[in-house]
Structure 1
């Protein structure tokens, strides 16, 4: 008998071996938990930094975690950080991991790649280790578009905005040149880690100074329309709509952070325009009465064409896949026609924007499936021409002037908020109506309840995953 444990030597050896095997299995399981949580956080970081809503990010992370067996994971998403915790049993110490979102550039190419990766994971086409390898590849690879092509896309968007504002070809050309200068200067400033506020100040100053310089020449140009066409590129309408979307889905902390960011970005533009006016006055350049945000008279065909081109150019500037650019332009043109029809019939701008957004949300789901991109990639660029950025700018400008203009500023900000709510709620309602119409989304899970703009619409059952593999020829 073994004197230490009272067991025969062979039984003591078997017990030691079983304990070692159990320890190795527990260590391997712990390692898989850590790897799964890290993958979920990386997926969430990519989605959040590319403009996805907090509800979409949370639901996507939870789908991936559930698929890999982490069914009791707790996920928390804020504006700048993501956290995830898991506790296997009440006796175990919970595991907590966090990631901070450092970069917030909209990148629809990476967003689409991550969306495809998540779908492959949920259909058992990619296991944990392959998914992590593909995720690392997505992060490390460059873009299909070179950076100079993005600059050209911003120039095209500025020119299109100048057209449908009623500025004519001269305003469009000057706005395109200013957009190129703004984009290149902001790239240089971003490389030096300057805060986003100062990038906005530089953009507003460049647009104003260039408009003043052109006005000093014999060229007949409307300085106000030139500045307006350029500051639309810098305005924070998307941030405001994202704030409303997060508020509607219950993420109030993230909504508040997005709202503050939108206001700071717009305040930067106001400071930049004021700086540009001061520089022009100091240089002795005559600058007429500048009214940024003024609109000209435009015919309906020009409005539709300008809206379509600006939305398509915005999607290209955000690295949307090429196959989605043309459908985005066509959807935007039809949505602009819908909005114009509603507004002409006596309804306000908020109602027109809401109906147009509902159409976009309804159509984006089906079109996104055709071109193999998340609905977010189609919906957000199509909404860009309807964003209330100019109302935000006017409101903050009037508030800064004080006195009699305070009431006008409050009215402009309330108008901007109503338009943003109409846009966000319209898109969400359109997605809500469209998704059950698709066969793949007949039975949404309770935890994924509500409209989705990116990520899986529901977790597939085991039988559905087998059927999908058979129809795919695997």
Structure 2
């Protein structure tokens, strides 16, 4: 005899949905997995299905637009739809829209719903609230009306207003640059200079965005203050590490999270979403490089050449670099709207990953190998901490991986391009992309291992329940 399932002890909703999403179950099982809401003759089942589909679409859009991978967004839609009685549910997402279809109990006509995603904004705090809502839905803690009400509270609240709402992103981008300046070999002068440059660039980017200027031109203009500040500081104080100002000033603008998400989506088979994110990241990346190279090239024309010394790199793990890693990670977490209780763990994870990166590099390993080991460390520790805190690891691993970015190679590539050494510059950019891919794969690998262990434990637990 098989025991009835205890929903309070059900595995996480993402782990429950993955076998279906990845095609590990036969199509004959694609109906509703639990107890159907049987048709009792009520005439409102079609309306019930429409309300469920509306909730599913809203949650799927929120998950994807606030930073969740495509696979997690699809899983959240699937679990929500089936928890409220829809059967044969088929959710799908791309970077620009979400779609779901399914059958309400007793209704022969399928219900369809779709929504266009017009804006993406990393917001880990709201993402965590949506994930908690999906978790509550998956364990049958909420009725449909209660779930719709909670979703409305989370998603329909008034937008932040006032001066801080406009200055928040530029200020935190400046703090990201200040930390990065210390990480990549600078001192207090370089850190403050990078802060001013990044703040100015992000402020210009926000002004242009409010006037509807396309992303390419916004980010090209936003990257220019980093080059201008570096040239000015080098002209006034040639002994300063102006390279650190360039790298730190643009790191906050680079679409690293988007690129990592693109790699992650491609690894899990969501190729359309991955392609959309990849093109989005490449567009912004090209714009940032264009802005910096234009300024550095103009500086070279008037005789203000920045040094080509490859000294700009990850420093040792003592002194200013440690402070920089902590500031870097906390600023990234705050800018991504991670909850304040996640800032300290994220800083600790970043410091651990940075220590591994420097240590492995000191042993003579290549930058790719060192980055792979460090990224795997960040991902593994992030998964463990998130599991203990019963939350998603994304708000911990994204700030944790930020100090691992290849700043030295990026600077040399930018300088090569500005000086007309195009083949060398393009080769450097390819290396930057390769290191970023290694970061994404290393973090994704630990997540996959965690999911595999959860699936194995769940299978063992279910086999023990069969008497």
TM-score, normalized by length of structure 2?
A: 0.80
Map residues 57-456 of structure 1 onto 2, 5 A cutoff. 57-87=73-103, 92-141=108-157, 142=159, 146-147=164-165, 148-217=167-236, 221-277=240-296, 287-289=304-306, 295=312, 298-301=315-318, 302-371=320-389, 373-388=391-406, 405-406=422-423, 408-435=424-451, 442-443=457-458
- CA–CA distance in 1 between the matches of 2:457 and 2:239? 58
Q: Secondary structure at the match of 1:82?
A: strand
Offset at residue 441 of structure 1 (A): 8.3
Offset at residue 267 of structure 1 (A): 1.2
- CA–CA distance in 2 between the matches of 1:205 and 1:349? 28
**Mapped contact 1:208–1:276 kept (Cα < 8 A):** yes
- CA–CA distance in 2 between the matches of 1:137 and 1:61? 19
Q: Deviation per CA, 1:19-75: give whole Å up to 9, x if none.
A: xxx99823x211121111111111111111122111111111111111112231111
**Mapped contact 2:80–2:137 kept (Cα < 8 A):** yes
Q: Secondary structure at the match of 1:418?
A: helix
- Larger Cα Rg: Structure 1 or Structure 2? 1
| 2:14 corresponding residue in structure 1 | none
User: For residues 224 and 337 of structure 1, do their structure 2 counterparts lie closer, same or farther at Cα, with a shift above 3 Å needed?
Assistant: closer
- CA–CA distance in 2 between the matches of 1:205 and 1:95? 50
Offset at residue 355 of structure 1 (A): 1.7
| 2:51 corresponding residue in structure 1 | 35
| 1:18 corresponding residue in structure 2 | none
User: For residues 395 and 219 of structure 1, do their structure 2 counterparts lie closer, same or farther at Cα, with a shift above 3 Å needed?
Assistant: closer
Offset at residue 294 of structure 1 (A): 6.9
User: For residues 187 and 444 of structure 1, do their structure 2 counterparts lie closer, same or farther at Cα, with a shift above 3 Å needed?
Assistant: farther
Offset at residue 287 of structure 1 (A): 2.9
User: For residues 98 and 212 of structure 1, do their structure 2 counterparts lie closer, same or farther at Cα, with a shift above 3 Å needed?
Assistant: same
- CA–CA distance in 2 between the matches of 1:300 and 1:400? 31
Q: Deviation per CA, 1:189-224: give whole Å up to 9, x if none.
A: 221222221221111112222333444546864433
Give the length in aligned residue pairs.
421
In structure 2, the gaps of 5 or more residues are 1-38
Offset at residue 382 of structure 1 (A): 0.9
- CA–CA distance in 1 between the matches of 2:430 and 2:198? 29
**Mapped contact 1:53–1:246 kept (Cα < 8 A):** yes
Q: Secondary structure at the match of 1:421?
A: helix
**Mapped contact 1:311–1:381 kept (Cα < 8 A):** yes
